[in-house]
Structures are given as C-alpha cells and as structure tokens.
Amino acid sequence: KMLFQSLEKLQKEKADEQDMLSAMDLKADKAALASKVDCSQFEENMDRLDERMQELQSQISGQEEQWNETQQQLIDAMEEKLDRLELKAFRKRLEESWNRSIEDLEKRMGDSGAGIKK
C-alpha cells in the first residue's frame, strides 16, 4: 500500500514538473514575443523616420542655399564698397595729376609770350 502511495506521489510530482516546465516554456516564449517588434509597426516607424530625415535634409539644403545667397550678397556689397574706396583714391590721384598739369601749363604760358603760341 505504501509502495502504491509513493508511486502515485511520484507520478503527481513528475506530472507537476512537466506542467511546470511547459508553463515556463510558455512564459519564456511570451517574454521573448513581448520583446520582439511587430514587422508592420517597425516598417511604419522606419517610414516616419525616413520622412523626417527627408524633411531635415530639405531644411538643411534650404538653409545652405540661403546661407550661400547671403554670403554672395555680402561679397557683392564688400566689392562695391571696395570699388567706391578705390575710386575715391583714383579720383584724388587724377585730380592731383590734373592740377599739376594745369600748374605746369600755366607756368609755361606765363613765362613768355612765345609760350602762348605753342
């Protein structure tokens, strides 16, 4: 009788162990499944990420174009400023040269009556 009871007890414990192992496998699978990403959800997220990257790229290229335009405007403005400064210096030198030429001509003319004919 004791032997039968021990045998029944062992069979119950063994069955419980098998149930426990299968339950552990099931829980392990659920845990592994929970950590996995749904393929459609992943693709949606990647599409959104791609769209956002495209937006950022277009914004950056737009800013780059704007920066290049601003830089060109500054370069043009600086060239204009330099041209004006250079023209002022050139004008001053030209006026000085004309004044010297006029003075030289007046001196030549004032020296003799023959200089007037020349």
Give the global pTM: 0.36
Non-local CB neighbours of 115 within 8 Å, separated by 6+ positions: 108, 109
- Percentage with pLDDT > 90 across the chain: 9
**Alpha-carbon torsion 95, 101, 104, 105, what sign?**
negative
Q: Residue 1: how many CB atoms within 10 A of its CB?
A: 5
CA distance 100 to 118: 19
- Tell me how long the chain is: 118
Closest to 90 in 3D by CA, of 98, 101, 100: 98
Give the largest CA-CA distance in the chain: 164
Tens digit of pLDDT for each residue in 98-116?
888 888 887 877 655 555 5
User: Quick one: pLDDT band at residue 53, thresholds 50, 70, 90?
Assistant: very high
Examine the pLDDT at 77 and tell me if it is beyond 70: yes
- The three-state secondary structure class of 1 is coil
Q: Is the pLDDT of residue 38 over 90?
A: no
DSSP state of 36: S
Report the mean per-residue pLDDT for the chain: 77
